[in-house]
Chains A and B, each alone.
Chain A
Amino acid sequence: MKIKLEFFGPVRDRIGDYPATLTLDACPQTLDALVATLAGQLENGGVLLDPHLRIAINDQLVTRQQTLTLGEGAHIAVLSPFSGG
């Protein structure tokens, strides 16, 4: 399954170069499984194991309790802790 990938905030610098589109090796159904899959497939993927990061799928934040339904072309955003205002 192909997904689109984007990083925001400090994690964008920490991850370094990354592919805008990624073919996932698995079809994760939980947030933890998704993070583990991404961490395993990206060169600096270990930075994704930071528990303070948030993940959005198609512009919606997802929680650990949710069952994920990733569709082809899903847009996954990895968000650093927010620091506005």
Chain B
Amino acid sequence: MMEQADILLSSAPLDPATLNKRLSAGTSTGAVATFTGLVRGKGALTALELQHHPVMTLTALNTIGAAAMARFDLTALLIAHRFGRMKIGEPIVHIATAAPHRRAALDAVSYTIDVLKTQAPFWKREWYGDTSRWIEPTAEDHGKAAQWLGAMT
């Protein structure tokens, strides 16, 4: 029976090494792939804030996780996403996949992050001291999600 994706939505800092240990990969696993998105330092940036919806965000992550499990031949999938205010260098999102073969593990990581960027209710705001700037999704973000979903979203 296919396992469910392991979904974590957290205001506390994410530790990729600890999260990877949560990956419930069995003996049929031949490949593990991971992606970690970090707060990138640039200019006078002091912090990054991620807002989320109290109900819909977790629902969306579960839906994306279930879709990835159904689409790819995986033995396990973990999606961990942070919300709240983060410092430069801290992980924003961590995705880990396990599969019998590498292609499914790698593709499932790409699918999950590409779809998550435009389909999960998160809103990103850069802070420069006391002033802030919202980050809007780019045409490239939409294009990457559309490659997987088959249409512009």
Q: Is B121 in contact with A79, judged by CB distance below 8 angstroms?
A: yes
Q: Could you mark each residue 45-58 of chain A with 1 if its beta carbon is under 8 Å from any beta carbon of chain B, else 0? A: 00000000000100
Chain B contact residues (Cβ within 8 angstroms of A): what range?
Answer: 20 to 34
Q: Could you mark each residue 35-62 of chain B with 1 if its beta carbon is under 8 Å from any beta carbon of chain A, else 0? A: 0010000000000001111011001000
Q: Could you mark each residue 82-110 of chain B with 1 if its beta carbon is under 8 Å from any beta carbon of chain A, else 0? A: 00000000001100000000000000000
For A85, the chain B residues whose CB sits under 8 A away are 37, 81, 92-93, 113, 116-117, 120, 122
B123 sits at the interface (CB 8 A): yes
Q: Report how many A-B pairs have Cβ atoms within 8 Å.
A: 67
Task: Give A61's nearest chain B residue, CB to CB.
Answer: B56
For B151, the chain A residues whose CB sits under 8 A away are none
Partner of B136, one of A8, A56, A59, A81: A81
Q: Determine how close the nearest CB of chain B comes to the CB of A44; give it in whole angstroms.
A: 16
Q: Determine how close the nearest CB of chain B comes to the CB of A1; give it in whole angstroms.
A: 22
Q: Is A79 in contact with B81, judged by CB distance below 8 angstroms?
A: no
Q: Is A77 in contact with B136, judged by CB distance below 8 angstroms?
A: no
Residues on B facing A (Cβ under 8 Å): 37, 50-53, 55-56, 59, 81, 92-93, 113, 116-124, 134-137, 141
